[in-house]
Amino acid sequence: MPDAKLLETFANPHPRRPYTIEHVAEEFTSLCPKTGHPDFGSVILRYGPGRTCVELKSYKLYLQSFRNQGIFYEDVTNCIAHDLIGLMKPRWLILETRWRGRGGIRSTITVSHGRQG
Amino acid sequence: MPDAKLLETFANPHPRRPYTIEHVAEEFTSLCPKTGHPDFGSVILRYGPGRTCVELKSYKLYLQSFRNQGIFYEDVTNCIAHDLIGLMKPRWLILETRWRGRGGIRSTITVSHGRQG
Amino acid sequence: MPDAKLLETFANPHPRRPYTIEHVAEEFTSLCPKTGHPDFGSVILRYGPGRTCVELKSYKLYLQSFRNQGIFYEDVTNCIAHDLIGLMKPRWLILETRWRGRGGIRSTITVSHGRQG
Amino acid sequence: MPDAKLLETFANPHPRRPYTIEHVAEEFTSLCPKTGHPDFGSVILRYGPGRTCVELKSYKLYLQSFRNQGIFYEDVTNCIAHDLIGLMKPRWLILETRWRGRGGIRSTITVSHGRQG
Amino acid sequence: MPDAKLLETFANPHPRRPYTIEHVAEEFTSLCPKTGHPDFGSVILRYGPGRTCVELKSYKLYLQSFRNQGIFYEDVTNCIAHDLIGLMKPRWLILETRWRGRGGIRSTITVSHGRQG
Amino acid sequence: MPDAKLLETFANPHPRRPYTIEHVAEEFTSLCPKTGHPDFGSVILRYGPGRTCVELKSYKLYLQSFRNQGIFYEDVTNCIAHDLIGLMKPRWLILETRWRGRGGIRSTITVSHGRQG
Amino acid sequence: MPDAKLLETFANPHPRRPYTIEHVAEEFTSLCPKTGHPDFGSVILRYGPGRTCVELKSYKLYLQSFRNQGIFYEDVTNCIAHDLIGLMKPRWLILETRWRGRGGIRSTITVSHGRQG
Amino acid sequence: MPDAKLLETFANPHPRRPYTIEHVAEEFTSLCPKTGHPDFGSVILRYGPGRTCVELKSYKLYLQSFRNQGIFYEDVTNCIAHDLIGLMKPRWLILETRWRGRGGIRSTITVSHGRQG
Amino acid sequence: MPDAKLLETFANPHPRRPYTIEHVAEEFTSLCPKTGHPDFGSVILRYGPGRTCVELKSYKLYLQSFRNQGIFYEDVTNCIAHDLIGLMKPRWLILETRWRGRGGIRSTITVSHGRQG
Amino acid sequence: MPDAKLLETFANPHPRRPYTIEHVAEEFTSLCPKTGHPDFGSVILRYGPGRTCVELKSYKLYLQSFRNQGIFYEDVTNCIAHDLIGLMKPRWLILETRWRGRGGIRSTITVSHGRQG
């Protein structure tokens, strides 16, 4: 079950300088809430850090917590974005999920928060 | 025969937050209305959802309904865009069809509705 | 409906010299006999011509005749190989079908007749 | 000899909606007017259709009419753009030619007409 | 928990002719028995069918049954090969698993049964 | 019109040592004898030189001499192989032509003479 | 130990004309300060030179001085950017580090200084 | 020795219409002035022609004249840009050199003149 | 300092069945014994396990122990092969190292032990 | 001028074990003896070392000594093979040169000595 409490932060070591962090997790999996079949995809996170950054190992464990959750593409994307925005209060954040094909159709969902740059 | 009634929607689970949905269907086929020979291509849909989203399986069946239809590239593209705009009232929508070559010429048709972003 | 009578031949212009002909058709489609959903794939034909060669346009029309036929991967492959062997009496022939993924699994079926080379 | 009279149009089936048409012809050849050696390249046409669209088969025959013409890269590009603009009165048009290397140098020529969008 | 009883067969429609069937499943996942972290990989099956063929949907469900199983790479590979050989009695079979990197090292395990060809 | 007299040779500078020469010409074009439309392809020559080698510029002019010739794929391939074998008396020779697609089908023709190696 | 004193400059030979210099170092390695395991990545430097440019060999030795340093991704990136900005006073500078995956997650960190162009 | 006098022009056949010309020379080599070792790279020229265009064969000979010249990356790039701007008076020009790696570092230098468009 | 004592084994779970294990480590680095500059490369291990298999984490730590060792390409390759053969007594083993370029030259060294298959 | 005296060897550190060394030099250039224009290509050396190995830096300088030599493709290949065989007395050796295109034709020349493996 997705669990935002798994997420940890560390203090941004360079809080005054705007810069960009990107993490690409290519091994994401959850379950289709309709059929129970597994979905596979990538989760691309880009953000401008504020006072804190998400700690990489805790982020990995958080993503793994979706493994046996039945959840739609749109909800996965908005859920991860929501949890990370609440956790880090970033200057801006873009969260993109890219899903391998189902029935010959590949999907990508993208949520933006704030203005990059 | 293309049939817009095949299309179904579900309520956008995050209607207040602007975000982007992309579906890439790489297995589209219809017939050339002149020669009767099959055309093969991809249909790329990108949109900003309003109150509803197109349901993925119904969208797949809708695309399959062009299989034995004689129809020009330009009409396929405008027809799908028209049906989806009427169905979902999206904030914005881009519909692109990319066709495999005929006589050594590859074609791409793109229709936009509203302003992305 | 697949129809071997669509296939035509022309006399091999160089019947004494052993050589190899390959035709790759990347726009093959038939229907799944269980679900009725379309299958998409490529058909790769390689053969050493005997007295006759398959005429290219008739071969294309023959492949198109599977468009609305419900038929399994294994049968498509053996059926095309069988029709071409009966038609051309080639020195040798390899018929391979490569199918786009269904449920996350991509399949390839290969039938050989005689000995290449 | 290049011949603009080969070009035919059909009425734009959706004249009110701005959209984009792209045709990529990868099998273009003409002759170098200096050396007589053949030049090979691709012709990429993108345009926003006005009242008419160029008919695809006639466009192919038109491009084939350069086959034995001695003509420089710059002239080919401006000539095709000129003929298509006169023929279709498009909202905008971009005509690009990409040439395979000569003497280790690959060239690309691009002509724009109007403003894309 | 991996369950060979999920596997079903259908009668080989062409039992006299030797031919080759390949299924590539790119969305395999199981758990590391040491750390509990998920492993991701591809399962490539190639075989010469005897009297029966493995049914594709049952094979997919069988592969999904490893999802929450703690099991080493070597055991996954030998286990799937063992179950399929017992099920189908193929003329020959090659089972290969390709694993995404762990600690900067990517692994591939290959089991062969009988002689291809 | 194809003209074998355009071909010239030079003496193999290392006639005692068996070695291999490959020339890949990616800009070959001839005409379809049925439709008159141009065909485009690559010509791959590999051979073990005997006493003479084909001179590269003369070979290029020879290939250009097919430009306005109506000729089938099979004949092009056998014709070039025949002319080069007569010209050079190579230890062995492989001549392959790879053709861009027509009607969604790509073809490759291969002629061998003698035994490589 | 990272050592900014390793860096040397040479006078910009064209100080009046704004232009862009990019250096891509694909063989960067440092140590994870938590686990001691090595990290591997690329360092991409782009800048508009002011009065001086960084000398390439000294830059290489400077990057090598991180080899046995325990340091986080974010700190590596800001540290290199800081040292180069202090050294060269460039018109603008972008420093990007791209890290190979750890635990299935690939990261990229980007620091900008001034305005490109 | 680089020699701008090798460069020749021809009159722009379409001086009123703004368009773009690109020449990519992938076989450039000069010498490192420090070590004497050869440097290898590509020279990418893009410009909007004014009254004249650079003649392609003369441009090739001009680039070959750097073959045995000891010269830094930055100087090569500014030198070629300077010579072409003086020669052609283009509306705008971008000159980019991309160098193969030295000591694990690949470099790209870009000079702009005027405003593209 | 390379240390074979870091290597650990586990009992081959399927010692009777011949099969193949491959581990690709793309993040190998050691030092050039002449210049002290770092070398970067990949280590590809393929073997047929006997009674034991090399444990993956211990193998990673073993490869990391070359990090600050001055050692030639040929010695790295033979050293790793020697240590693994002594450790595991495999049926057969192939050890390949692929090195990134130095001075424009990329090298690969391959050692074989026993006969594959 | 090509100069075999530039080549140096070092003693094979593992003379009893047969193994393979490959060096790929992608930055080779010489001159066409007919036109004086530069030729560019790659030199791929593979060999089984006997008592000595060619030293990498001396090999690089040897290859650079062809820079201003007018010499045909066939001669370059046989010349390098001849010099290395005389120098090292390898168990076996394969020398391949791959040349960038001239007049639309790319060439590869391969010389073998002894029997690999």
Which tens digits make up the pLDDT trace of A17-54?
A: 889 999 999 999 999 999 999 999 999 999 999 999 99
Does residue H103 carry a pLDDT above 80?
no
F44, F73, F74, F116: best mutation site toward chain C, by most C Cβ within 10 Å?
A: F74
Q: How much is the pLDDT for B117?
A: 66
CA H65 – CA H28 distance, rounded (Å): 10
Asked if pLDDT for residue H21 goes beyond 70, the answer is yes
- Residue F117 predicted with pLDDT over 80: no
Question: Which residue did the predictor score with more confidence, I102 or D14?
Answer: D14
For the residues F32-56, what does the mean pLDDT come to? 96
pLDDT for the residue numbered D10: 95
| pLDDT (average), residues F76-85 | 97
Instruction: Note the pLDDT of residue A49.
Output: 97
Report whether pLDDT(I26) > 90.
Answer: yes
| Span D72-81, average pLDDT | 96
* pLDDT greater than 90 at residue H87: yes
Q: What is the predicted pLDDT for the residue at D1?
A: 79
Residue with tokens 């820079």: J67
Structural contact between residues J97 and J41, judged by C-beta atoms closer than 8 angstroms: yes
Q: What pLDDT shows up at residue A12?
A: 95
Question: pTM of the full predicted structure?
Answer: 0.94
Share of chain B above pLDDT 70, in %: 99
Q: Which residue has the tokens 């080989």?
A: E12
pLDDT at G1: 79
Distance from CA of J26 to the nearest CA of I (A): 6
> Burial letters for H79-108: b for 16+ Cβ neighbours within 10 Å, e otherwise?
bbbbbbbebbebbbbbbbbbbebbbbbbbb
Confidence of residue B1 (pLDDT cuts 50, 70, 90): confident
With CA atoms as reference, report the closest residue to H97 among H115, H84, H114, H116.
H84
- Which neighbouring-strand residues pair with C16? none
For residues J28-33, average pLDDT: 96
Whether pLDDT at A114 is above 90: yes
- Look at residue G102 in the predicted model and tell me its pLDDT: 77
* E-I Cβ pairs (cutoff 8 Å, strict): 53
Residue C103 — pLDDT band, cuts 50, 70, 90?
confident
Q: What percent of chain G has pLDDT over 90?
A: 86
Cα(C78)–Cα(C84) distance, rounded to whole angstroms? 10
| Architecture of the structural domain at I4-113 | 2-Layer Sandwich (3.30)
The closest alpha carbon to C23, from C64, C68, C66, C53, belongs to C53
Dihedral over alpha carbons D64, D65, D67, D72 (to 10 degrees)? -110
Q: Catalytic: I39? A: yes
Helix/strand/coil for G87: helix
Chain G residues with CB inside 8 Å of A20's CB? 108-111
- Residues C19-47 have a mean pLDDT of 96
CATH of B4-12+20-113, one of 3.40.190.10, 3.40.50.2020, 3.40.50.620, 3.30.1130.10: 3.30.1130.10
ipTM of model: 0.92
Chains I and G touch (3+ CB pairs under 8 A): yes
Beta bridge partners of H92: H48
DSSP J27: E
Tell me how many degrees the CA angle H47-H49-H53 measures, rounded to the nearest 5: 100
Judge whether residue H89 has pLDDT over 80: yes
Of B103, B107, B110, the CB nearest to D19: B110
| Dist CA A45 CA G107 (whole Å) | 9
Average pLDDT over residues J79-101: 96
What rounded mean pLDDT belongs to chain J?
95
The ranges of chain E with pLDDT < 50 are: none
User: In this complex, which chains have at least 3 CB pairs below 8 Å with chain F?
Assistant: B, C, D, J
Mean pLDDT of C73-77: 95
Whether residue A75 is predicted with pLDDT greater than 90 in this model: the reply is: yes
pLDDT of res. A102:
77
Instruction: Name the average pLDDT for chain A.
Output: 95
**Nearest-angstrom CA–CA distance, J45 and J64:** 15
Residues of I in contact with E84 (CB under 8 A): none
B29-64 burial, b for 16+ CB within 10 Å, e for fewer?
A: bbbeeeeeebbbbbbbbbbbbbebbbebebbbebbb
Give me the phi and psi of F21, to 5 degrees please.
-120, 135
| D27 inside 8 A of chain B by CB | yes
Q: What average pLDDT does the structure give for chain I?
A: 95
Task: Check pLDDT > 80 for residue B19.
Answer: yes
Nearest residue in chain H measured CA to CA from G25: H105
pLDDT at position B102, please?
77
Strand B92-102 and strand G92-102: the pairing is unpaired
Dump the DSSP string for G12-71.
-SSTTS-EEEEEEEEEEEEE-TTT--EEEEEEEEEEE--SEEE-HHHHHHHHHTTTT-B-
The pLDDT score that the predictor gives to residue F110 is: 97
In this prediction, residue I36 carries a pLDDT of: 94
| Minimum CA–CA partner of F61 in chain D | D37
Beta carbons within 10 angstroms of residue H75's beta carbon: 18
Q: What are φ and ψ of residue I2, in 5° steps? A: -55, 135
pLDDT computed for residue H1 by the predictor: 79
Structure tokens at I46: 């393929």
Question: CB–CB of G56 and H106 under 8 A?
Answer: no
pLDDT at H107: 97
pLDDT at I115 over 70: yes
Report the C-alpha gap between A44 and F112 in whole angstroms: 51
* pLDDT at residue C17, as a whole number: 86
Q: Does the domain made of C4-9+20-113 have the CATH classification 3.30.1130.10?
A: yes
F15/J contact by beta carbon, under 8 A = no
**D neighbour chains, 3+ CB pairs within 8 Å:** B, F, H, J
Q: Is G40 on the interface with I (CB under 8 A)?
A: yes
The more confidently predicted of residues C103 and G27 is G27
- Please tell me if residue C82 touches chain F, with a CB cutoff of 8 Å: no
pLDDT at A59 over 90: yes
Assign J26 a pLDDT band (cuts: 50, 70, 90): very high
J-chain residue closest to I105, CA distance = J25
Q: Which two tokens stand for residue I28?
A: 């190998």
Determine the pLDDT at residue A94: 97
- G24-37: pLDDT as tens digits: 999 999 999 999 99
Provide, rounded to the nearest whole percent, the portion of chain A with pLDDT above 90.
Answer: 85
Q: Kindly compute the dihedral angle of the four CA atoms of residues E81, E84, E90, E96, in this order, to the nearest 10 degrees.
A: -30
Predicted confidence (pLDDT) at residue C98 exceeds the cutoff of 90: yes
Model confidence at F73: pLDDT above 90: yes
Element (H, E) at C6: none
Q: What percent of chain G has pLDDT over 70?
A: 99
Q: How far apart are the C-alpha atoms of I116 and I18, rounded to whole Å?
A: 10
Per-residue CA distances from I52 to C2, E81, F92, I17 (Å): 55, 20, 48, 13
Residue F17 is predicted with a pLDDT of 86
